[in-house]
Structure 1
Amino acid sequence: MILSVLPIFLAGLGAGLSLIIAIGAQNAFVLRQGLAREHVAPVVLLCMASDAVLILAGISGIGVAINAAPWILQVAKWAGAAFLLVYAFMAARRVMSKDALVSAEGSSGAGLWATLATVAALTWLNPHVYLDTVLLLGSLGAAHGDGRWAFGAGAALGSVLWFSLLGFGARFLAPVFARPWAWRLLDGAIAVTMVLIAAQLVLST
């Protein structure tokens, strides 16, 4: 039984990783938290749980309902773009202002709930998450019939592996980010990434 669903499970793992690893606002935020060693476990767990819920929704067929109500994606598009621009401004301010720069350890001083609210917004206000995780993975999973749950489990495991690596593995880059210029460079890259993603959202149909 296990061997019969293993290829489907691995297909889900590959599909999940291929979608999750792409550079995006959520990944940039998780990387920064990992480098700063701030609230890493709660952030990683929230990302994993969010992906698991979205994958389950897609496998269960909820993507059909979303596809039938395009206004949901429109609301997420504009709200997500606005949030990304605000976050981009905050990152740019850390680059330009000495008072806003993080310390050598990378601490931003943000509380746990504020941090979790930020990562939740970066996740759930991104319309691409519904297109990729719910609709695309849901469609790919549905093609496997009863094996779609194994496909979904594989995709969820991909999320667990990636966010664990991104959040907890970032500490190995700590020697590089012991220098203030490295944090300036990272925050500058984050600001540019957020603006580009926001523009992509606004310009998308």
Structure 2
Amino acid sequence: MSTVFNGAALSASLIMAIGAQNTFVLRQGLTRQHVFLTALICSICDLVLMSIGVAGMGHALNTMPDLQRWMAIFGTVFVLWYGFNAFKKALHPDVLGDDHRERAFATPGKVILAGLAFSLLNPHALLDTVVLVGSIGAQQAPAERPLFVLGAVGFSFVWFFSLAYGSSKLSHLFNKPLAWRILDILIGFMMLAIAVSLIKMAGFF
């Protein structure tokens, strides 16, 4: 059980930081749009990424700086686009009763694509799941590795579903335009900060 706990503890230390993926889940929860699907797709992505990381992909990725650089470039473009849209929405805030579907990815297909993008085009998430969890998990005894992954993935499922459904319970706080304006401005600046860190990761400065 200690191996399961270690995996869960490592996952918790990485996943609870506010980032692009958590922001996506939070927004979907607040707008109550496909909450279950949102949490599920992010959880499944973590399951796949952590599993291949422990299986050896984490070490391989860590030895390919060019691939990491391109991942950072694509990730920068994506989070800048998301941040720009957040600032644009802040200029025209609405409330949950006023066509709030526009504030979230409103169709199942869009939710799946967005969830994949936030998970797979996000170098921070990839480095956390594939490289960090993968490299530490790979150091476990072969018989212990599935337990380590179980703990790490288990916490991811608990976290994403708790965040998605927990935020949906707070949606009543966003029945005023000012609340959306503040949230969108915060998200916009958060995405800019993430973009800067990705640019540094790519080695541009």
Shared fold (TM-score, shorter chain, > 0.5) = yes
Aligned equivalent of 1:58:
53
Aligned equivalent of 2:17:
22
Structure 1 stretches of 5 or more lacking a match? 1-5
Aligned equivalent of 1:10:
5
- Corresponding residue to 1:74 among 53, 69, 72: 69
**What is the total number of aligned residue pairs between the two structures?**
197
Q: Distance in 1 between matches of 2:69 and 2:127?
A: 12
The letter of the residue matching 1:136 is: L
Q: Deviations over 1:62-109 (max 9, x none)?
A: 112212222221111011101111111111111113xxx343244326
Matched, 1:158 2:155: yes
The letter of the residue matching 1:74 is: R
Out of 117-126 and 49-58, give the one that drifted further: 117-126
Aligned equivalent of 2:136:
140
Matched, 1:200 2:197: yes
Aligned equivalent of 1:126:
122
Matched, 1:111 2:111: no
Shift of 1:119: 2.4
Matched, 1:186 2:183: yes
- Corresponding residue to 1:94 among 72, 80, 89: 89
Q: Distance in 1 between matches of 2:173 and 2:128?
A: 33
Runs of 4+ in 1 over 6 A off after TM superposition: none
Output the aligned Cα RMSD: 1.4
Structure 2 stretches of 5 or more lacking a match? none
Q: Distance in 2 between matches of 1:121 and 1:23?
A: 17
Out of 60-69 and 149-158, give the one that drifted further: 60-69
Shift of 1:163: 0.1
Aligned equivalent of 2:168:
171
- What SS class does the counterpart of residue 65 from structure 1 fall into? helix
Q: TM-score, normalised by structure 2?
A: 0.91
Shift of 1:145: 1.1
The letter of the residue matching 1:83 is: F
**Contact 2:59 2:135 (8 Å CA) reproduced:** no
